[in-house]
Structure 1
Amino acid sequence: MNPNSAVERVKNHLSYKLGQELIKPTMGGGVFRLLKIARNHKIQKKLNSNLKYPPLESLKDYPQSLELQNQLGYRLGEEFLNAWKFWWCGGLLYFYLRIPSIKAESRAKQNIYPHQSYFKELLMRVKHIEAINDVFWSSKINDISFRGQLGQDALAYVLNDCKKQGFFVDIGAHNGLMVSNSYLFEQLGWKGFCVEANPKTFAQLKQNRQCDVYNFAVFSKNIGITRMATSCNSGLDTLELNLTAAHKARVEKGGEITYVQVPTITFDELMVNYPQISHIDFMSLDVEGGELEVLKGIDFNKYSFGCIAIEHNYFKDAQKEVSELLKSKGYRMLMWNAFDYLFVRDERIRWNY
């Protein structure tokens, strides 16, 4: 039995094993055969009593296991176990008289199951929305400061089950305070680091944050020194390699463009400083058009992510490539706003988006 398969674990339930015997056209051995199955199951359970299993609800095939529990075989086994508790006062006779009713109930459940599944998913979606609302309200009470431009940090906080310890990465952190997606997590006591390429903005970041900070341009490969286009509007700074004509026009609205020399590095090279970390609970990626290049430099076989916020504003051409790359690595878009996409692992998706 695979402990990480909800379906296989349900098939290992005594109710399922008894039910498979009960639905046979001819059940040789009758009650004695069922008691033998129950005895063997008890022995097996005792041998595996020290094993620890993850909750069924956390497993990817949990919906399929629910469907299995609504099938006739499982229902008969479940009813038989309940009746056996009262064998001394006619419990078994009552069970056999109830078999036609159990079959009818099972057929009815099978008919409503698809709708039941939909409403469970809808309820979970509502609970997530309520959790986000609760986080915002409790922030006023507990003095938690959210700084994400459109609540990206609050969403990441909820998706990480509001835990107090974790690891974050903020690439394109700017000054670390203004509309920062990672400031909250540093205040909560998480470990992590921020990266900012512009030397002037990095000086502010270094002053504003207590976590590790790095003055690099993160790219798909280490190409040594490269040039960054900057203006008075430092929030639009980007590498010359990523500078499109449209973005150049936006940068120029902040004043004359100047170019500065910046060192490059890859995500994997930065993570060498954290050999004990293989899972990043939250990564914020905002490098004004260079997001795809950053993602290309990540070894997704070595590092996993709880959720990833990626800016898509202005860069329509790269949006599809970013989504396809992350999908190929096992991540799906959970939601988006005017500026960012939010990606999570496939198994975290509980409703259709």
Structure 2
Amino acid sequence: MGVWAEWWWWCARPGRLPRAAPLSILLTTVLTLISLLFFLNARALNRHPSPRHLLDLEDHDMEGAPQHHPDLVSYIKQLHLLPPASGPYHLQKPNTSDFSQNGQSKRVASILGGKRGGVFLEAGAYDGEELSNTLYLERELGWRGLLVEPDPWNFWSLRKRGRKAHAIQACLSPSPFPREVTFKQSDTMGRIASAGEEASKRGIYTRVKCFPLYTLLLALNTTHLNFLSLDVEGAELQVLQTVPWEKVRVDVLCVEHRHVPEGSRALQTYLEAHGYQLHSTLGDDYIFVRRDLPNVPEQGL
């Protein structure tokens, strides 16, 4: 005789049932509630994929996904995109105004007429302070946006600065889909390694996820940037070629052109074909402005 059968037989003996009935009812009620909660939770999990479900995805489940795919956007939002810091800044040079190398931040602010509350994306954000093309806009003009930095050491430093922008440790994909690549760490000169380069054993390498620029914009719930700063040590043109320009608006771009293997002229030709004009040159950076942007001050090259 089974355990439950023995228990029921014991409860059903003459003189036992009246005393056992409340216990039996309580047990039945508890089991019913547990079953109901399990059923409702199962339905909820099936309706809305949980972060744990996304966490269990393998890299190859995302590689090759279309850059606009909602699952990819959710994956980035829930597992990679870090929120802006709260509290004060923790800067090494708090009295500095423009942290950019050649005045890029103030040039952008001038082009946009001192616009307040703008949106930026800075790729190659380094430590979030030194050489930053966006910290002035964030601190002085209340801009918000996204800092993209693939180097894990640099990203650790960036997170200590208390930036009031979203941040992600990743690189911008040179393809219109996510990839995982070998990244060569080199302070401000880190880049995606070429095929077989790691075999030389010269340098420090790590594996890094790369996401398309358009996907990151969707994760930020925007397709309009007032300013895009692009310094990815040679992949600039490839990254720009992944952008569906009919769906995205960028007012001003700052693009490092020195390491573009296709050449500076190829970069200029591509952006001119998509409605931009070269406004000025600052060091190794080109400043491009949309032709339809009103009231842009003239600036020599």
TM-score when normalising by structure 1: 0.52
Counterpart Cα distance in 1 of 2:233 and 2:146: 19
Question: What SS does structure 2 have at the residue aligned with 1:204?
Answer: helix
> Does 2:106 match 1:154?
yes
Counterpart Cα distance in 2 of 1:325 and 1:309: 14
Q: Which runs of 5+ in 2 are unaligned?
A: 1-94
CA distance 1:273–1:317, shift in 2 (3 Å): closer
Question: Percent same amino acid at aligned positions?
Answer: 25
1:294 Cα offset (Å): 1.4
1:218 Cα offset (Å): 0.3
Counterpart Cα distance in 1 of 2:184 and 2:223: 33
Partner deviation per Cα, 1:99-140 (whole Å, 9 max, x = no partner): xxxxxxxxxxxxxxxxxxxxxxxxxxxxxxxxxxxxxxxxxx
1:243 Cα offset (Å): 10
Deviation >2 Å, runs of 4+: 220-224, 241-244, 313-318, 347-353
Partner deviation per Cα, 1:152-201 (whole Å, 9 max, x = no partner): 00100011110221111101111110010011122121121110011111
Question: What SS does structure 1 have at the residue aligned with 2:215?
Answer: helix
1:274 Cα offset (Å): 2.4
- Given candidates 146, 163, 166, the residue that maps to 2:118 is 166
Count of aligned residue pairs for this structure pair: 200
Q: Which runs of 5+ in 1 are unaligned?
A: 1-142
CA distance 1:242–1:164, shift in 2 (3 Å): farther
Instruction: Tell me the equivalent position of 1:197.
Output: 150
Question: What SS does structure 1 have at the residue aligned with 2:286?
Answer: strand
Q: RCO greater where, 1 or 2, for CA within 8 Å and sep 6 or more?
A: 2
Instruction: Tell me the equivalent position of 1:308.
Output: 253
| Letter matched to residue 170 of structure 2 | F
1:256 Cα offset (Å): 4.4
CA distance 1:203–1:328, shift in 2 (3 Å): same
Question: What SS does structure 1 have at the residue aligned with 2:283?
Answer: coil
Asked if 1 retains the 8 angstrom alpha-carbon contact of 2:279 and 2:288, the reply is: yes
Higher helix share: 1
- Given candidates 209, 217, 220, the residue that maps to 1:263 is 209
TM-score when normalising by structure 2: 0.61
Asked if 2 retains the 8 angstrom alpha-carbon contact of 1:167 and 1:190, the reply is: yes
Counterpart Cα distance in 2 of 1:214 and 1:350: 33
Instruction: Tell me the equivalent position of 1:128.
Output: none
Question: What SS does structure 2 have at the residue aligned with 1:347?
Answer: coil
1:220 Cα offset (Å): 2.9
Asked if 2 retains the 8 angstrom alpha-carbon contact of 1:153 and 1:181, the reply is: yes
> Does 2:179 match 1:224?
yes
Aligned-pair Cα RMSD in Å: 2.6
1:223 Cα offset (Å): 4.4
Counterpart Cα distance in 2 of 1:202 and 1:156: 24
Counterpart Cα distance in 2 of 1:226 and 1:148: 28
CA distance 1:260–1:144, shift in 2 (3 Å): closer
1:144 Cα offset (Å): 7.5
Counterpart Cα distance in 1 of 2:237 and 2:156: 26
- 1:36-115 aligned at under 5 Å gives the runs none
